[in-house]
Amino acid sequence: MLFFHFWLGVEFIWWITFISFFMIIVLSIICYHTLFNFLFAYFAPFSNPIRFNRKTGKVYLYEAVAIKWMTTLWLPFSAFKDLKKYQIKVYDWVDFHAVLQRSSGAFASGGTIEHYTLLGVACKPNSHELIEYIYIGETNQFAYAWNWISHFMEHGTDRPLNKAGLKYIDYSRDDAKSFMDVEPRIKVTSKQVEGLDKASKAGSKEELAQIEQEYQLNGTVYLVY
């Protein structure tokens, strides 16, 4: 508009210029915010992996730090630094239980639908004092999934997976391996996180004790970093 005003003598209208400039600013902010959130959501982890270590009798929860930003309306630049950061919590299997959460709804045309979610229940040692609920997955039958996880953690732990009798109730060895082979794209942010990550992969209780001593994990059974 300035070009036409000075070179062609077209009348310059200030209020149109102001509105146009304001609209450009607003649209730019909207585009920036949308792109910023899209990129963050694309690279952020979709879940909090759980590693069940049948050799040491421990359960390791990898909590993605970036999850806290997923419900934020406006993301700061610092949020991108959290994309590969995890907090690792470790619980004894004997203090790890489960509950089934059920929700149901009705169709307008008649009939109902039911939805089941399997949740882990972490308790303080030698008690039923709740620490937290942990999402494990969706399931149609509570006993079907949880019994298999219990079998994985409690039976034949001194034998290789292919000889531990883990094929009952239609689960394969590939499913069993997934309980230990989960590999979050973790960024080591402290000595404790590095130690807990190594401890979660320990192949024996002796190896676990060595790692705990090396990284000074203090022998506690539930940690938050």
Compute the average pLDDT of residues 62-69.
Answer: 84
Strand order in the sheet with 130-138: 96-106, 112-123, 130-138
pLDDT over 60 (residue 178): no
Average pLDDT value for the chain: 79
**Hey, how many other C-beta atoms are within 10 angstroms of the C-beta on 217?**
19
What's the confidence (pLDDT) of residue 224?
Answer: 47
Rounded to whole angstroms, how far apart are CA atoms 157 and 56? Answer: 9
Encode pLDDT of 3-45 as tens digits: 666 666 656 566 777 787 888 899 988 888 788 778 877 787 7
Nearest to 98 by CA among 116, 117, 119: 119
- Lowest mean pLDDT across 35-39, 143-147, 175-179: 175-179
Rounded to whole angstroms, how far apart are CA atoms 97 and 111? Answer: 33
Confidence tier at 220 by pLDDT (50, 70, 90): low
Counting every residue written for the chain, the total comes to 225
Question: For the chain, give me the number of helices (H) and strands (E)?
Answer: 6, 6
What's the confidence (pLDDT) of residue 225?
Answer: 40
What's the confidence (pLDDT) of residue 210?
Answer: 93
CA angle 79, 82, 88 (to 5 degrees): 145
Rounded to whole angstroms, how far apart are CA atoms 54 and 114? Answer: 32
Encode pLDDT of 72-125 as tens digits: 777 777 888 888 888 889 999 999 999 988 888 887 777 787 888 889 999 988
Tokens of 74: 């406006």
Encode pLDDT of 199-218 as tens digits: 999 999 999 999 998 998 87
Beta strands in the chain (DSSP E): 50-53, 58-64, 86-92, 96-106, 112-123, 130-138
pLDDT over 70 (residue 222): no
Collapse the DSSP code of 199 into the 3-class scheme (helix H, G, I; strand E, B; otherwise coil) and give the result: helix
